[in-house]
């Protein structure tokens, strides 16, 4: 498989005010990020108005990372998608998943249901959204002939859906904690490789066409990688030291060590689109520069 160029996104977690958001967008562009993203959680910024604001402040692509399908009526979502694509000059990428926080469903007055129920809802939303966006009579019309669709998650049905329908697959590299379904455990390198292999089998000939994303849970610059990983051991007691050392979502070490880790991830599993959380904006920037320079 031909290696894709790297792309880099940052996920906004708060909304301090219009001037601060504009400054964040401009700073992200200065640091070499390609995409500014907003999640879809109650208690965090509403995705689409935030994306319009940051799109006006900097020449970045913008995206949802990711929408909770249960929160959105497909016809109304199509209007939001089309309007946001127009207002950002055709720079929108639409990320969507099943939602996983039971308390948020309760706050919204929605049934949480089983994992299967939530995937069923996601399939319904994706199908109907495509129909609305493809309707030539619909107004407004997106600028892009197709707004890129990102589907994120970890389970078999969700990855199979991404294999059939998505332009971008976002691997969570995490699974529900058996002891606490509201919490997640990071996957080991071996378990993550199995998820990628499952996706490739499901995608077949499409596998090479679909961009692959990974959310990096930790970005920790340090000259002593072993010590920093050892300090993480108490927070992740289910991982052995060897598993911690190889965990794909933990980016720890010098700039060159971190860049080497991501080059190897792309070469081995095709992961070329990396996302970090807002607090890691500055820490990850030297890694972006190193990977761009290679």
pLDDT digit string (tens) for 40-55?
A: 999 999 999 999 999 9
pLDDT tens readout for residues 158-187: 999 999 999 999 999 999 888 886 788 999
| Crossing angle (nearest 10°) for helices 156-165 and 189-203 | 40
Phi, psi for 72 (deg, rounded to 5): -130, 130
For residues 211, 216, 222 and 228, what is the CA-based torsion angle, rounded to 10 degrees?
Answer: -140
Domain residues for 86? 7-216+254-293
Q: What is the pLDDT of residues 271-293, one digit of tens each?
A: 999 999 999 999 999 999 999 99
CATH at 23: 3.20.20.30
Alpha helices in the chain (DSSP H): 18-30, 47-57, 74-87, 102-107, 115-134, 156-165, 189-203, 225-232, 241-246, 255-269, 281-293
Helix, coil or strand: residue 37: strand
CA distances from 232 to 99, 186, 235 (A): 27, 12, 5
Contact between residue 211 and residue 169 where contact means Cβ atoms under 8 Å apart: yes
Domain membership flag for residue 2: no
Percentage of the chain exceeding pLDDT 90: 93
Residue tagged 């319904």 (tokens): 124
- Structural domain includes residue 221: no
Answering whether pTM is above 0.95, one says: yes
Q: Is residue 241 part of a domain?
A: no
Domain presence at residue 39? yes
Is there a domain that residue 226 lies in? no
Would you say residue 78 lies in a domain? Answer: yes
Q: How many separate domains does the chain show?
A: 1
> Is 40 part of any domain?
yes
pLDDT tens digit string along 122-139? Answer: 999 999 999 999 999 999
Does the residue 286 lie in any domain?
A: yes
């Amino acid at each position: 498989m031909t290696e894709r160029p790297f792309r880099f996104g940052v996920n906004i977690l708060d909304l301090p005010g219009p001037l601060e958001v504009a400054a964040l967008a401009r700073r992200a562009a200065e640091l070499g990020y390609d995409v500014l993203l907003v999640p879809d959680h109650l208690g965090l910024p509403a995705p689409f108005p935030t994306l319009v604001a940051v799109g006006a402040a900097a020449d970045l692509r913008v995206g949802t990372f990711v929408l909770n399908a249960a929160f959105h009526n497909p016809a109304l979502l199509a209007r939001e998608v089309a309007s946001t694509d127009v207002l950002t000059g055709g720079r929108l990428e639409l990320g969507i998943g099943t939602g996983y926080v039971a308390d948020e469903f309760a706050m919204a007055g929605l049934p949480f249901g089983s994992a299967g129920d939530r995937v069923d809802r996601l399939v319904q939303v994706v199908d109907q959204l495509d129909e609305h966006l493809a309707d030539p009579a619909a107004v407004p019309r997106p600028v892009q002939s197709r707004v890129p669709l990102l589907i994120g998650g970890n389970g078999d049905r969700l990855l199979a859906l991404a294999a059939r329908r998505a332009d971008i697959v976002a691997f969570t590299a995490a699974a529900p904690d058996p002891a606490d379904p509201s919490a997640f455990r990071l996957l080991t390198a071996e378990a993550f490789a199995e998820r990628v292999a499952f996706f490739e089998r499901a995608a077949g000939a499409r596998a090479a066409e679909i961009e692959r994303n990974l959310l990096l849970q930790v970005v920790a610059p340090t000259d002593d990688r072993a010590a920093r990983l050892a300090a993480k051991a108490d927070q992740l007691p289910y991982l052995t030291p060897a598993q911690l050392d190889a965990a794909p979502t933990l980016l720890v070490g010098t700039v060159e060590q971190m860049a080497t880790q991501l080059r190897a991830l792309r070469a081995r599993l095709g992961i070329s689109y990396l996302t970090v959380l807002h607090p890691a904006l500055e820490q990850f920037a030297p890694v972006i520069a190193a990977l761009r320079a290679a």
